[in-house]
Chain A
Amino acid sequence: MGRGGGDPIVIGVELRNLSRRFGDFHAVDGVDLSIRAGELLVLLGPSGCGKTTLLRMIAGLERPSSGEIFIGGERVDADVPPRARGIAMVFQSYALYPHRTVAQNIAFPLEASRMPRPQIAEKVRWAAELFGITRYLERYPRQLSGGERQRVALCRALVRDPKVFLLDEPLANLDAKLRNTARDELKRFQRQIQRTTVYVTHDQVEAMGLGDRIAVMDHGRVRQIGTPQEVYEDPVDTFVATFVGQPPMNLLDVRDPGLPSGTLLGFRPEHFLPRDHFTSDEPIQIFCFAVRRVEYLGSDRYVYGSVAEEAVGEATVIAKLPATVATAIPEGEALEFAVPRRALRYFDAATGARRRP
């Protein structure tokens, strides 16, 4: 989807100044968000940031305290019940009906919409084939593994033929090994059906891997919305900078005469490498890195230490060296490390906001 073109963006879901308060607590606090038709938007944030409440408001399971919700251009926030919103939702727990077989689970929304029986059977079969779960149709949810249950839940959502898919941490209950394949399947599935999808997660790897765009949330507000690359490379503030990326961005309070006072210097651990790794013509900033500990992780080494140079205090700095960097890093010694200047980001120490020098 090209940006900056003249075409009006086709809106899948639009939220205007949406808020939800529980007593004095602002779970969602004035969110404006446009989700394009057909895109997969990830709501990413720590637990308690309001992402699930936001999703539940779109679903109609939670009433907004104020603000407006539009789905496919139609306003739905006030009195359109969940069943009339053209949405389907997959819950973190999958929320399968335990007393119904897989086939009966998938058929449930169709029965609720009073579809004739032969048509229901046909549609259930079609969806089950799409997800490769035809073998399990007569089983009960408790007889299935986590991954199989997740597919049943997706199947049940799919047969409703919704305008918008709402997924609430659908991979959180899978074990780590399965999560990668499930993520890939989910993405392929979404590409195949080309349906607007809102995906909630607290896992930034999932967000980066799945999202066409990511909305990073904190304290009920959207801090930044953009492609995974934009969010990773151009974080708008220190929250996004440290929440996205593992290990998080290093932030240093550097007293640099060339910078306005109260400026934090930020750089990603993978850009912080031994000085001899850079060619002489690349503009770099050099630090004296006092190495405290080295973690060997196979594909990478994490080096923990501090930079004393011109800094106030000694903040912990992490360097992430890929296995291809063979330099020996002895613990307890000070080494010359450097960051390419293009990888440096500046933030306001007081507000955390990005500064562009």
Chain B
Amino acid sequence: MIPRRTLADREDVLGVAMLAPALAYVILLVGVPFVLAILLSFSNATAGSLSFGWAGWRNYATILADPIFLRSLRNTAIVTIGSQALVVALATAAAQVFRAAFHGKRLARLVLLLPWAVPVSLAAIAWTWIFDSTFSVLNWTLKAAHLMHGWLYWLGDPGLALVAIIIVQAWRVFPFATVIVLAGLSSIPQDVVEAAIVDGAGFWRRLFKVELPLLVPVVAVAVLFGVVYTATDLGVVYILTGGGPANTTQVLPTLAFQRGVLGADLGQGAAIAVFLLPFLIVVAVAMLRLARRAEVGAR
């Protein structure tokens, strides 16, 4: 007797069946909210009612005329660019260290990865203590090391608060970036590095003329992840400063949350959140192009 065709033989059905959960997830939890957010940004919907009136571009006009929104937009850019610049420098340096053989390397790697595994809320609370106006561990350390006179009110001063946010965001992305750069370093052929040694290049020349240029595609990917991760983050700013003092450290996600959820103006909140979209698309396209260009080696 010929065995019957089972589900495993029917690739057409099997394929759909296996893809379905992932598809359902993307459609229900990413696609629908995304479309909803765009629709909401053109509406006058509020959190308290079910009414949905078409508002046209009014929400966008309102936020673009709002200095707090413009400040949040600027802050988002400053925090993202600042923290990612810091991450690239630190991750490249750390990767060099972790490439060398030393005792306790495994333990050090584990410790390195910890910030990535710590929940945002817990980490941000710990950092609030580090930056506390009265008990700041950072201030105390700087004073004890005689590097600082006086006292810094980290979260009370708009400029310093942004620096604090940049530090925490860099701290969060740094482990991941280091791991990516380490992988990139190990993908550089040993021969090429040795050729550079024989060709008379010292450490810095090898680093800047051979290793870093070859790392560009990998670093671009790390930065892309870091940018998306940082620009869309709500938790750090929300817990660290709450957008304060006086809305000077608001970023787009916190402002969207404040206006849309706490302030119940869903339309405006959505408009603020959607504003991130073109910004991130531009970054993603630029980074992927950079990675591609470096890979092909054609300028």
Contact = CB atoms under 8 A, between A and B. Distances in A.
Contacts of A109: 199-200
A101 to B, nearest CB: 9
A93 B195 CA distance: 10
A91 B195 contact: yes
- Can you list the 10 inter-chain pairs with the closest CB atoms, starting with the nearest? A83-B200, A95-B191, A95-B195, A109-B199, A112-B200, A140-B297, A99-B213, A112-B201, A89-B198, A91-B191
B192 A98 contact: yes
Given A95-B191, A97-B192, A142-B297, A108 B209 contact: yes
A98 B200 contact: no
24 contacts: A59-B198, A60-B198, A61-B198, A83-B198, A83-B202, A87-B198, A89-B195, A91-B191, A95-B191, A95-B194, A97-B196, A97-B210, A99-B216, A108-B196, A108-B199, A108-B209, A109-B200, A111-B205, A111-B209, A140-B297, A140-B298, A141-B297, A156-B199, A160-B200
A88 interface: yes
A82 interface: yes
A113 interface: yes
A113 B198 CA distance: 12
Given A108-B199, A108-B201, A98 B214 contact: yes
Contacts of B205: 111-112
B104 interface: no
A64 to B, nearest CB: 17
Contact of A93 (B189, B196, B200, B296): B189
Given A99-B213, A108-B209, A142-B297, A93 B191 contact: yes
Given A93-B189, A108-B201, A160-B200, A99 B195 contact: no
A108 B192 CA distance: 12
Nearest to B188: A98
A156 B216 CA distance: 24
Given A83-B199, A113-B200, A99 B214 contact: yes
B298 A95 contact: no
A142 B297 CA distance: 8
A81 B194 CA distance: 12
Contact of A88 (B189, B194, B198, B209): B198
A91 B200 CA distance: 15
A113 B200 CA distance: 7
Residue of B194, B195, B198 with most chain A CB atoms under a 10 A cut-off: B198
A297 B216 CA distance: 52
Range of interface residues on chain B? 20 to 34
Contacts, number: 69
B121 to A, nearest CB: 42
A167 to B, nearest CB: 12
Range of interface residues on chain A? 20 to 34
Interface of B: 189, 191-192, 194-202, 205, 209-210, 213-214, 216, 294, 296-298
Given A91-B194, A108-B209, A98 B199 contact: no
A121 B236 CA distance: 53
Nearest to B190: A95
A70 B34 CA distance: 71
A100 to B, nearest CB: 8
Nearest to B216: A99
Contact of B197 (A83, A96, A98, A156): A83
A196 to B, nearest CB: 16
A93 B202 CA distance: 22
Contacts of B194: 61, 89, 91, 95
A61 B197 contact: yes
Nearest to A92: B191
Nearest to A88: B198
A172 to B, nearest CB: 13
Interface in A112-160: 112-113, 140-142, 156, 160
A82 B200 CA distance: 7
Residue of A60, A88, A96, A98 with most chain B CB atoms under a 10 A cut-off: A98
Contacts of A97: 192, 195-196, 210
A92 B196 CA distance: 15
Contacts of A99: 213-214, 216, 294, 297
A11 B41 CA distance: 82
A111 B209 CA distance: 11
A156 B198 CA distance: 11
A109 B294 CA distance: 22
A83 B196 CA distance: 9
Residue of B197, B200, B294, B297 with most chain A CB atoms under a 10 A cut-off: B200
B209 to A, nearest CB: 7
Given A91-B191, A142-B297, A160-B199, 19 more contacts: A60-B198, A61-B197, A83-B199, A87-B198, A88-B199, A89-B195, A92-B191, A93-B189, A96-B192, A97-B210, A98-B297, A99-B213, A99-B214, A99-B216, A108-B196, A108-B199, A112-B199, A112-B200, A142-B296
A97 to B, nearest CB: 6
Residue of B197, B202, B210, B213 with most chain A CB atoms under a 10 A cut-off: B197
Residue of A96, A97, A142 with most chain B CB atoms under a 10 A cut-off: A97
Interface in A196-237: none
B2 to A, nearest CB: 48
Contacts of B297: 98-99, 140-142
A141 B201 CA distance: 20
Contacts of B191: 91-93, 95
A210 B189 CA distance: 29
A182 B192 CA distance: 22
A88 B195 CA distance: 9
